[in-house]
Amino acid sequence: MDKNRVIIFDTTLRDGEQSPGASMNLEEKLKIAKVLEDMGVDVIEAGFPIASNGDFEAVNEIAKTVTNATIAGLARATKADIERCAEAIKPAARGRIHTFISTSPLHMKYKLQMEPEKVLAKVVESVSYARNFTDDVEWSAEDGSRTEHDFLCRCVEAAIKAGARTINIPDTVGYAVPDEYAALIRMLFNRVPNIDQAIISVHCHNDLGLAVANSLAAVQAGARQVECTINGLGERAGNAAMEEIVMALRTRADHIPYTTGIKTEHITKASRLVSTVTGFVVQPNKAIVGANAFAHESGIHQDGMLKNAQTYEIMTPESVGLTRSTLVMGKHSGRAAFKSKLKELGYELGENAIEDAFVRFKDLADRKKDVFDEDIVALVDDEVLRSNDRIRFVSLEVVCGSKHRPPRATLELEVDGETKQCESTGDGPVDATFNCIKELVPHNARLQLYQVHAVTQGTDAQAEVTVRLEEDGKTVNGQGADTDTLVASARAYVTALNKLLVKREKTAPQALSA
């Protein structure tokens, strides 16, 4: 392997899905996996097979579908976990078992309730057992950044000797700072005698906002695999954002002379897809993929941009797959033009899906004066990703206003193929709409978040609504888009309910990793 090549290990489908509300169904995971493969991601961590039948199926199907990337599954240091993981990745052209155990004094004492020597024995036992199923075994020292150096060196040496070819040193709780973390990686290179037989990997969380900085510092210290997620998705404050790491390496090659195999022009598409699937809206000022990342309002900045874009842009929008077209589609646009636009935006859809999306596009164009790329992205994502949902939105009519008290909603849904209709009132039009949904699909979920933002500018802009529901400790997010905010709200709530049906099947193990 090229000594300056950094392996990109994407864990959006595993660690990213551990974010409260970020549950994904099989179809959604397959779509994201395909986008990751097209991007050139080296390793896709597809899930935690022992967690549930749904997780096992997702890893197994991705292993059957993806051919260019290595497919990894996560396993605790137990034979049952490892066997389940091995079975899930079995169809993969290249499969990896990623096994882990905590090594910090805090975790060993309170989480594992095990003595260090027993942990060390578990490291050897788990890696050796995993090697019975594949030559590609990765071992992680959970809470590695808070592990005593002597013990960490012993564990790393033992894991490599047992057959691990990738050693991951996670900053599990986002506690490290860049110079300290880089020193930790250098220490391992200096003290572990067989370190040259493995690739050193890093997996950084963002609790102090340092995940990307720590990852890059580790690369400079010798790490050659970075574990990351699209949009920085992940539990608590998230993981290191893949798009930031990749673009930092590309933009500052003069200072960080390392390369990846990522086709950066796919970044925006991947970011939008993950946002739509999970319901996690990307903040406007997010680096690389935020709505304002290439926007300039200051007069001084605009003047500089007009003279030379490099005055205020250190990378081009096109380099991350962002198009800058304004009005290019309208109500007179035909199927051929619409199909061409979808291809330009990175969508490869079947004829039936294109026809369904085209019908919604024409409806949108009749209601909206200017149709922007962002409108089409919101429309297509909302339509295509919901194709296999058990609950589908059909129609909504609301009567409200100062002269109509209380507001009244009439809603029609399709539930498991059966059309159902109801009428309900509420404190406001949104409340009335949601009461209708509760009547048609009875549930005890609690509304945690209701958020609206405009996809584009103008009073006729599509509203994109995010709804978060919580039931028995399980949290899900749903998104919906429409020029009618109430319709978008109904779509978002229905999407969240569909995700809740998936989430009910998941019973994650107690010990989740890094």
Q: What is the DSSP string of 3-52?
A: TTBPEEEE-TTTTGGGSTB----HHHHHHHHHHHHHHT-SEEEEE-TTS-
- List the structure tokens of 228: 């990351």
Express each pLDDT in 49-67 by its tens digit: 999 898 999 999 999 999 9
- List the structure tokens of 238: 């998230």
**Residue 363 predicted with pLDDT over 90:** no
Query: Percent of the chain beyond pLDDT 90?
Result: 63
pLDDT at residue number 412: 96
**Residue 3 predicted with pLDDT over 70:** yes
* Contact by Cβ (8 Å): 268, 247: no
Between 397 and 366, the higher pLDDT residue? 397
Query: Among the residues of 287-350, which ranges form H helices?
Result: 299-307, 335-344
- Candidate from 167-176, 233-242, 329-338 with smallest mean pLDDT: 329-338
d(CA 466, CA 167) in angstroms, rounded, equals: 38
pLDDT at residue number 326: 44
Q: How far is CA 101 from CA 74, 138, 154, 235, 404, in A?
A: 11, 12, 14, 18, 61
d(CA 364, CA 387) in angstroms, rounded, equals: 19
pLDDT at residue number 325: 47
Express each pLDDT in 65-118 by its tens digit: 999 999 999 999 999 999 999 999 999 999 999 999 999 999 999 999 999 999
* Contact by Cβ (8 Å): 88, 64: no
pLDDT at residue number 224: 98
**Residue 378 predicted with pLDDT over 90:** no
- Candidate from 27-41, 242-256, 292-306 with smallest mean pLDDT: 292-306
- List the structure tokens of 75: 């396993």
